[in-house]
Structure formats: C-alpha cells, structure tokens
Amino acid sequence: MSEQAGGTTRQGDGGPSPDGAVLSLAGISKRFGAVHALSDASLAVKAGEVVALVGDNGAGKSTMIKAIAGVNPADDGEILWEGRPVTITKPHDAATLGIATVYQDLALCDNLDVVANLFLGNEVANGIVLDEISMERRATELLDTLSVKIPSVRTPVASLSGGQRQSVAIARSLLGEPKVVLLDEPTAALGVAQTAQVLDLIERLRDRGLGVVLISHNLADVRAVADRVAVLRLGRNAGEFVMAETSQEQIVEAITGASESVVTRRQARVEAAEAARDVGQKRQASDPQEQS
C-alpha cells in the first residue's frame, strides 16, 4: 500500500496533521544522562496501516515505543492524536487515548486460562461474582474474528505454543478497543510457522482499520507486512520508505547509515558472484564479443 492510498482512507480529518495520521509524533527527544536516546525524532501512523520501526540496537526504537506508551515519557516533542496535541505521561494516558502496547516479554500468566488472561485487570463481574459466561463468550468471539486458533479458551496459557501465546497477548490488547497497537518484537522468539501466524494476525489488525506500529529486527517480517518503514539511527530519523517502492538494500543502508558497510559489502560480494555466474552462462551461450 502506498502512502497516498493510506492518505485517502483518512482524508478530511482536518487538523494540523494533513496526511490524516491517527498518531503522529514530531521533534521527540529523550536523554538518559549524557546519552541522547532520541533527538528530534518523528513517527506517524494512519488508520489501517502497518508502520515498521526499524533500526540497529540502541537506535531508539524501544525508547520511542515507551514514550508513546507512557511508560517512559519523552523530554521534549509534540504528540498529535487524531490531529489534536496531547500529552502522554503515564501508561493510563495512552490507554485512554486508544493506544495499546504488546511488550516483547509477554505479559501473560501461565497458570491462568486464555479467558482469564484476556480479561485480567478488566474482569466482567456481577457484583463481586465473576461473570465467566460473558467473558468466555466475548473471548471466543474476539479470537474468532481474529482467526486465532486455540484448542479451548479454557486452556491454561502454559500449554499454548509461542505463536498462540503471542496471539493471545495481541488479542488481549484489543479488548480496550484501541485505534493504535504498538507491537514490540512480536516474532522475536517464534519459529517459522508461528511467525506466519502472528504476521497473519497483524494483517488482520490492519484490515480492521487499526494503526499498527511494529518494531522488528527481522527485515523479512517487515517486508511481509509493513506498508511503510521508518528507520531510526542513533536516535534520529534516518529515512522513511514506502515498502512497495523500496529495496532491502535501501533499508539496510538507512539502518547502518552508510552505503559502504559490512552488510552492503557482503551483499555486493554475493551479487558480484551471481553476476559473474550469469555472465559466464551468457558467454557460453552466444556472445563472445562481450569479453573485450
């Protein structure tokens, strides 16, 4: 999906964010002592769009997510929510706006079943008695709409696979009807099939019209689901790309900050070897002239 297409879905939003972003951050700075974790960084996400936030270790991705989630507020900068300036100083602020965060270390209780984990902290109750029936129904509906496959919603989370657990964690974040979901390395610890499950789920979130901010180290995952890629390097924006029009090298270049780096050199070597093989084949086939 291109940037223009994303723009048309939210046209006429008005306000100071002309491209219709649900959430946009500008000039975000965060210092930890002498270290500038973020300086003048920006990020925007529209409804129905997956924005990947990539960068090397220490680039400021997690700091950015924590600033949005209110866990660790930014020192400086402007946050616009649906075009209105807002302040996020604690997790509760983010939750009230409609920002849900799924952290890297899954915040699930292994000894509780799926229903209890989904509703933990927001239980439905009649007086003091838990309304298990309503919770179980809502849990089943929610997982159904997300096409999350789980043996039974009464299974303890401990006996689920990594992908199922991640799906439950993501589903849990949706109960508050958020408009933006922040996912911190959702596929980091998963196998191939489980990663595919979670990527499918991310696409379903987009199809439901949510804005998704995805932090990932895995450029293959990013390529698979992201509409746009925002690159951070040493706490600053190092480029923003529309996925469909961008090559992997361009992203790597932005991440490492140089067209000449270990990664590109390696890539160049591989390509050179392939090219040489191609040339060899061609020469064999027909064209002796090319040699001079």
Partner 1 sequence: MTALRTPADATGVEAAPLSSYVNGYWSRVRGGEMGALPAILGLIVLCTVFSIVRPAFLTAGNFANLLPQGAAVTVIAMGLVFVLLLGEIDLSAGYTSGVCAAILALALSDYDLPWYLAILAALVTGTVVGFVLGSLVAKVGIPSFVVTLAAFLAFQGVVLLLIKGGTIISIQDPVILAIGNKNVPPVLGWVLFALGVGAYAAVQLLRIRGRQRRGLTHDPLSLVLIRVGALAVLGGWAVYVLNQERSRNPAIVSLKGVPIVVPIIVALLVILTFVLKRTGYGLHIYAVGGNREAARRAGINTDRIRISAFVVCSTMAAVGGIIAASRANSVDANTGGSNVLLYAVGAAVIGGTSLFGGKGRILDAVLGGAVVAVIDNGMGLMGFSSGVRFIVTGSVLLLAAGVDALSRRRAATAGLR
Binding residues vs partner 1 (CB under 8 A): 103, 105-112, 116, 120-123, 125, 128-130, 133-134, 136-137, 140, 144, 149, 151-153, 158-159
Three-class SS of 229-254: EEEEECCEEEEEEEHHHCCHHHHHHH
- Residue 150 tokens read as 């789980």
Shortest distance, position 66 Cβ to partner 1, whole Å: 13
Number of C-alpha atoms within 13 angstroms, CB side, residue 276?
6
User: Nearer to partner 1 by C-beta: 120 or 188?
Assistant: 120
User: Nearer to partner 1 by C-beta: 12 or 121?
Assistant: 121
- Report how far apart, in Å, the C-alpha atoms of 181 and of each of 12, 158, 255, 266, 280 are: 23, 24, 23, 35, 50
Quote the Cα angle for 213-167-102, to 5°.
40
Shortest distance, position 158 Cβ to partner 1, whole Å: 5
Shortest distance, position 121 Cβ to partner 1, whole Å: 3
User: Nearer to partner 1 by C-beta: 111 or 247?
Assistant: 111
**275: Cα separation from own chain's centroid:** 35
Shortest distance, position 103 Cβ to partner 1, whole Å: 8
Contact yes or no for 218/241 (Cβ under 8 A): no
Shortest distance, position 93 Cβ to partner 1, whole Å: 14
User: Nearer to partner 1 by C-beta: 143 or 238?
Assistant: 143
User: Nearer to partner 1 by C-beta: 22 or 180?
Assistant: 180
Q: In what order do the strands lie in the sheet with 236-242?
A: 99-102, 180-184, 211-215, 49-55, 228-233, 236-242
| Cα radius of gyration (the chain) | 22
Shortest distance, position 220 Cβ to partner 1, whole Å: 25
User: Nearer to partner 1 by C-beta: 175 or 263?
Assistant: 175
d(CA 206, CA 48): 5
